[in-house]
Amino acid sequence: MGSVSDSSPRPRISLEPEEGWHCQHWFYRFNRVRLRTLAPAEHSDGCRDFCQTLDPESRDLPARIQTFLVMGHKADFGIMMLDPDPLKLDRVHQRLLAGLLGPAIEPMWSFVSMTDVSEYLPTVEDYTERLRQEGLLPGSEEFAHRVQQYGKRYEIMRRQRLQPDLPNWPAYCFYPMNKRRLPEANWFLLGFEERDRLMREHGETGLKFAGQVTQLVTVGIGLDDWEWGVTLWARNPQYLKDIVYQMRFDEASARYAEFGPFYTGYLATPKEILRQCRVCG
């Protein structure tokens, strides 16, 4: 007697994080040899299909998506996407490869991560304690005002880290990084107070570029080969060079950081990508 399979539906397990969103960075290159084999109609329809797949107005796209040109040999263009559902992110990638231009699109690199609130972001309680340590009287009007104002900023900062709005500043840079585990420089053997001190110093350097550069750090620990992914947007590419150079001198970077490949480019619509890469006019 043959076995009877259980046809009852499996319980739906949520892939949505309890806090934050999934994030994917993808980098692609056009295969020019393959492009030359496409018939004119196939080529034209493929360009239209490419733009529709990445149309920011499409209802099928993730909560956040940006497309950009990549400078250098590593890739021609890239996509950054965020959404509570990781399969929704993957569907964009799969639709791109399954589209009419798909045979001529080669994935070059990717990074899978999630948004997160850093443990080094002071809570309202932490900020209150710092004010006390600075000698500000808890019962004073200034003390109450500063705590209230920080409470408002804290909620904004939490939201921007977990469900970020992506800026439309033109210059773009992404790189993955780890913290070292060398015997003489092991980040994960440092106590929290020392790590917090180093990250505050690091953050103070970044604040010097307020209004010029903004960043989003996503966490790849347990999800990808690198522990963190850093995405930078700048009003001018010079600011990318300047901030990365300055922050390399902070001890958190100079002693404890390891960096992966840098992907640098400029925000561009799907149509601009095709035109710049000489795929479609």
Which residues belong to the active site? 175
Q: Is 275 helix (H, G, I), strand (E, B) or coil?
A: helix
Q: List Cα–Cα distances, 75 to 30, 56, 197, 269, in angstroms.
A: 8, 21, 37, 16
Nearest C-alpha neighbor of 33 from the set 106, 93, 99: 106
Q: Please count the CA atoms within 13 angstroms of the CA of 75 that sit on its side-chain side.
A: 26
* Residues 246 and 203 sit within 8 Å (Cβ to Cβ): no
Q: CB-based contacts of 79: which residues, under 8 Å, 6+ apart?
A: 24, 25, 26, 28, 54, 65, 66, 67, 68, 92, 93
Q: State how far the Cα of 207 lies from the Cα of 20, in Å rounded to an integer.
A: 24
Q: Is 265 helix (H, G, I), strand (E, B) or coil?
A: strand
Q: State how far the Cα of 268 lies from the Cα of 25, in Å rounded to an integer.
A: 15
How remote is the C-alpha of 232 from its chain's centroid? 8
Beta strands in the chain (DSSP E): 22-30, 64-70, 77-83, 105-114, 171-179, 181-182, 185-186, 213-219, 228-234, 257-259, 263-267
